[in-house]
Amino acid sequence: MSNCIELSHLHKRYDRFALQDISLAMKEGYITGLIGPNGAGKTTLIKMIMGMVHPDQGEISLFGLDNQEHQPAIKSRIGYVSDENIYYEQLTVKQMKKIIAPFYSRWDENTYLKYQELFKLPPGKKIKDLSKGMKIKFSLAIALSHGADLLIMDEPTSGLDPVFRREMLDLLTEHIQDEKKSILFSTHNTTDLDRIADYIVFINDGKMVFNEMKEALTEKYLLVKGGKELLDRDVRRLFLGIRESALGFEGLVGNRAEGERFFKDNAICETPTLEEIMYFTVKGCDVHV
């Protein structure tokens, strides 16, 4: 099976932020969720993959093609959905679609019309008058109508009501039933990823924390809840992050087997959610409530 995205030692520096040494291979046929706190560099990374931001160092290839040299061929195979407005505000939905469609050799008008109806997109409404959720639905309808092999989505569910969000996740799962299709999906909503992602890429402060199969994460991490008397200096070292309260502590252990050996008789051991993994990894060991 081939990789749809390969990133090799990417670096990008801004005044107050640096994305550092990001390497990643994403296999085709899967949904990969990109998570990280505000300002971690998710949008910067996505824009680099889209060719909208240039890395200072490193290489990016999509579908085995260098993204500098083969931009048009690559772009025609990508569907991009973001909450930034990338359309002409003064045009109507129908006019904008008419401009976009000819760029794609695999454009399928019937598919577009199907999604226009399903998403209740008003063809005569100007882009500027669409709600945030409607703009995302329009982007999604476009992305799904040109036979994109890779959907790249930057926080696509952030402006959506819960009912449509659920429907969209179902649509995405259906989309990758064709095993050649892949999705990269950045979000703050880890429950969306609990539901549909195969792989999770976690970045924090411009650095890669992990790129793992979602199932592997539950085998790797352990959430421990117990009384504070357990926490001496050596025990603290077992934790990636600890949250202490008057009643006790909750902490994330990065080596599940070791954690279970140590805590199985004197504390509660649970499988952490993605949100808990993210929370404790970002906060480290200084959380007190």
Ligand X SMILES: Nc1ncnc2c1ncn2[C@@H]1O[C@H](COP(=O)(O)OP(=O)(O)OP(=O)(O)O)[C@@H](O)[C@H]1O
Q: Which residues bind ligand X (CB under 6 A)?
A: 14-15, 17, 36, 38-44
Question: Minimal CA–CA distance to 30: which of 57, 2, 54, 11?
Answer: 2
Q: Provide, rounded to whole angstroms, the least separation between the CB of residue 69 and ligand X.
A: 24
Q: Provide, rounded to whole angstroms, the least separation between the CB of residue 16 and ligand X.
A: 6
Q: Provide, rounded to whole angstroms, the least separation between the CB of residue 40 and ligand X.
A: 4
Q: Give Cβ neighbours of residue 148 (< 8 Å, ≥ 6 apart).
A: 77, 78, 79, 181
Q: Provide, rounded to whole angstroms, the least separation between the CB of residue 283 and ligand X.
A: 16
Start-end of H helices in 176-231: 190-196, 214-220
Q: Provide, rounded to whole angstroms, the least separation between the CB of residue 39 and ligand X.
A: 4
Cβ nearer to ligand X, comparing 182 with 189: 189
Q: Provide, rounded to whole angstroms, the least separation between the CB of residue 212 and ligand X.
A: 19
Cβ nearer to ligand X, comparing 43 with 95: 43
Rg of the chain on CA atoms, in Å:
21
- Residue 215 to residues 171, 188, 211, 218, 269, Cα–Cα distance (Å): 22, 19, 12, 6, 18
Cβ nearer to ligand X, comparing 86 with 118: 86
79 — alpha (psi -120 to 50), left (phi > 0) or beta?
A: beta
Cβ nearer to ligand X, comparing 44 with 139: 44
d(CA 131, CA 61): 34
Q: Cβ(174)–Cβ(166) under 8 Å? A: no
Cβ nearer to ligand X, comparing 122 with 133: 133
Cβ nearer to ligand X, comparing 14 with 88: 14
Q: Cβ(56)–Cβ(9) under 8 Å? A: no
What does the block give as tokens for 137?
Answer: 């639905």
